[in-house]
């Protein structure tokens, strides 16, 4: 690769890996519109059914915590082909499952594959794309990944209306096949730097237990009781993980960067944005189907226009950050998001299909404007040595926040017999979280990093 040119092989590698990341995220949300149907098929509650999404996101989050080590330990080809094999097996297991537990196993395998592919895509871009084209290709990657969450429900709705829920899995395999054909022609390995430290498996296991215990404990609140054993496990393993990370000489995640207030005050809003994004994607199709009798296909389509516009405007939003800095897009985006949530909250009993579609467009545009800027500005204020860890933490936090968002919103929806009441309570929570984000920004912009 010349200084100012990107090779065709690199372009092929990025496209092939982006397709795998796209497939993984689309598979995550494609099942949301099937919940009313699958609750009948498998005889489970909406609280149990949300695990179809939550366990997928949990698997992605756990694998992503290892992404920095995996990419230094294994070649790009090994990581990519492994993700394709695991995703294919998981998709077949899910699509052919006759039991709910087997369905969840398929989702775990799919999530594992996505957790390998998505960090690999960004790693290829950072390693192989010249600086003068970095923004373009990062924008391409972000656009692909931002389209997938809301294309999923549209795809899932069309599949279940025309062919049945199993075909949501089976037809998905077309994209990995295309991705594989591109990879065979273009994929090549980069030179690897020898690892200077061993991987800290103990820290990894402690963090995996921490995330899993919290998610299960939150899910079990559906029963009306607190599982003190699980919450205790979460607190203990979190404490042990922090202790291990601060004392171990082995390699995992450098949590010391949380000492930087500018980073911490950015990653928390980032988590809350993703919590609302995936939680909203979960409840909106169910709200329309159960509350207004909208078909699965139409309910899934509700999310599509907002997502497409969000993807189209992403490069423009990036230019706003480049020319105006972080403050303007963060505040404007968050205030637009807050306005959309307040309108939804007021109209929740009568909103129906069209108002939901229009207000979701506002919701998405506001979130996309602030969400991407939050990530960019936080990592930009880290040193070169800290950025790989900061990026890994953002990616892990993004997936786990989605899993937690699905779990909590399902808990709220499941605790109310009327889905409109559940939607009302969900929107109230989202309004409160958005106000918290604005407070976080106020604190962030008072830190030394932003005042120098």
Answer yes or no: is 237 within a domain. Answer: yes
Band (452; pLDDT cuts 50, 70, 90): very low
Asked if residue 22 lies in contact with residue 175, where contact means CB atoms within 8 angstroms, the answer is yes
**Which has the minimum average pLDDT: 69-78, 332-341, 436-445?**
69-78
382 shares its domain with 433: yes
HSE-CB of 98 using CA atoms within 13 angstroms? 0
Residue 16 domain flag: yes
Q: What CA–CA distance (Å, rounded) separates 116 from 67? A: 7
Query: In terms of domains, do 408 and 450 share one?
Result: yes
267 within some domain:
yes
- Looking at every residue in the chain, the average pLDDT score rounds to 82
Position 42 in a domain:
yes
Share of the chain above pLDDT 70, in %: 89
Tell me if 315 is assigned to some domain: yes
For the purposes of burial, counting CB atoms within 10 Å of the CB of 381, is it exposed (0-12), middle (13-18) or buried (19 or more)? buried
- Same-domain status, 41 and 92: yes
Q: Does 445 reside within a domain?
A: yes
Domain shared by 69 and 100, yes or no: yes
User: Cα-atom radius of gyration of the chain, to the nearest Å?
Assistant: 21
Q: Which of 132, 156, 186 corresponds to the end of one domain?
A: 186
Q: Is residue 322 part of a domain?
A: yes
Region 259-268 average pLDDT: 84
pLDDT at 219: 72
Provide the residue range defining the domain that includes 119. Answer: 1-186
Smallest CA-to-CA distance from 271 within 161, 354, 183, 394 is with 394
Residues 333 and 446 in one domain: yes
Is 395 in the same domain as 280?
yes
Residue 302 CA to its chain's centroid (Å)? 19
How far CA 109 is from CA of 59, 89, 93, 369, in Å, comes to 8, 7, 9, 32
User: Please, which residues have CB within 8 angstroms of residue 81's CB and are 6 or more apart in sequence?
Assistant: 183
CATH number for the domain harbouring residue 119: 1.20.1250.20
Based on the structure, what is the number of domains in the chain? 3
Residues 211 and 349 occupy one common structural domain: no
Q: Give residue 337's pLDDT band: very low, low, confident or very high (50, 70, 90).
A: very high
Sign of the alpha-carbon torsion through 280, 143, 161, 105: negative
Task: Please indicate, yes or no, whether residues 135 and 278 belong to a single structural domain of this protein.
Answer: no
415 compared with 278, residue with greater pLDDT? 278
For residues 228-254, average pLDDT = 88
CA distance 395 to 242: 19
Q: Which runs of consecutive H residues, i.e. helices, occur in 74-99?
A: 76-95
Of 250, 267, 286, which residue constitutes the final position of a domain?
A: 250
User: Between 29 and 292, where is the model more confident?
Assistant: 292
% of the chain at pLDDT higher than 90? 19
Boundary-marking domain end, from 235, 250, 265: 250
Domain shared by 328 and 279, yes or no: yes
Nearest to 61 by CA among 248, 214, 223: 214
Same domain for 411 and 448, yes or no, is: yes
Q: What is the pLDDT at residue 448?
A: 65
Give the tens place of pLDDT for each residue, 117-176. Answer: 888 887 787 777 776 666 667 667 767 766 776 677 778 878 877 787 888 888 889 989
d(CA 311, CA 316): 10
Q: Do residue 385 and residue 294 come from a single domain?
A: yes
Question: Mean pLDDT, to the nearest integer, of 70-82?
Answer: 86
Structure tokens at 339: 């306005």
Q: Choose the weakest-confidence range: 60-64, 243-247, 334-338, 413-417.
A: 413-417
């Amino acid at each position: 690769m010349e200084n100012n040119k990107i090779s065709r092989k690199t372009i092929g590698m990025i496209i092939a890996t982006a397709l795998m990341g796209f497939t993984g995220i689309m598979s995550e949300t494609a099942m949301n519109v099937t919940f009313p149907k699958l609750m009948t098929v498998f005889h489970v509650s909406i609280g149990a059914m949300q695990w179809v999404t939550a366990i997928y996101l949990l698997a992605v989050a756990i694998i992503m915590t290892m992404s920095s080590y995996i990419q230094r330990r294994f070649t790009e080809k090994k990581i990519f082909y492994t993700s394709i094999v695991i995703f294919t097996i998981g998709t077949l297991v899910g699509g052919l499952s006759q039991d709910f537990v087997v369905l969840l196993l398929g989702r775990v395998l799919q999530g594992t594959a996505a957790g390998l592919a998505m960090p690999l895509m960004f790693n290829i871009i950072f390693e192989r794309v010249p600086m003068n084209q970095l923004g373009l290709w990062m924008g391409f990657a972000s656009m692909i990944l931002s389209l997938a969450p809301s294309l999923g429900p549209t795809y899932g709705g069309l599949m279940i209306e025309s062919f049945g829920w199993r075909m949501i899995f089976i037809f998905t395999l077309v994209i990995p096949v295309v991705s594989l054909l591109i990879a065979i022609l273009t994929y090549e390995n980069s030179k690897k730097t020898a690892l200077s430290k061993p991987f800290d498996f103990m820290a990894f296991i402690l963090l995996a237990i921490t995330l899993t215990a919290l998610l299960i404990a939150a899910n079990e609140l559906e029963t009306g009781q607190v599982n003190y054993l699980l919450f205790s496990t979460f607190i203990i393993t979190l404490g042990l993980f922090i202790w291990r990370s601060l004392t171990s000489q082995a390699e995992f995640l450098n949590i010391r960067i949380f000492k930087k207030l500018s980073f911490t005050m950015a990653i928390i809003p980032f988590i809350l944005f993703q919590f609302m994004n995936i939680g909203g994607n979960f409840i909106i199709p169910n709200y329309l189907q159960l509350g207004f009798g909208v078909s699965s296909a139409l309910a899934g389509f509700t999310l599509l226009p907002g997502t497409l516009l969000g993807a189209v405007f992403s490069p423009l939003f990036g230019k706003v950050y480049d020319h105006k800095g972080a403050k303007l897009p963060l505040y404007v985006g968050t205030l637009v998001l807050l306005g959309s949530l307040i309108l939804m909250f007021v109209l929740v009993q009568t909103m129906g299909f069209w108002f939901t579609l229009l207000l979701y467009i506002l919701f998405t545009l506001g979130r996309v404007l602030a969400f991407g800027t939050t990530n960019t500005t936080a990592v930009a204020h880290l040193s070169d040595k800290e950025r790989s860890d900061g990026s890994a933490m953002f990616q892990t936090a993004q997936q786990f926040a989605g899993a937690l968002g699905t779990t909590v919103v399902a808990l709220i929806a499941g605790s109310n017999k009327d889905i409109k009441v559940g939607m009302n309570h969900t929107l109230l929570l989202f309004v409160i979280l958005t106000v918290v984000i604005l407070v976080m920004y106020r604190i962030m912009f008072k830190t030394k990093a932003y005042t120098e």
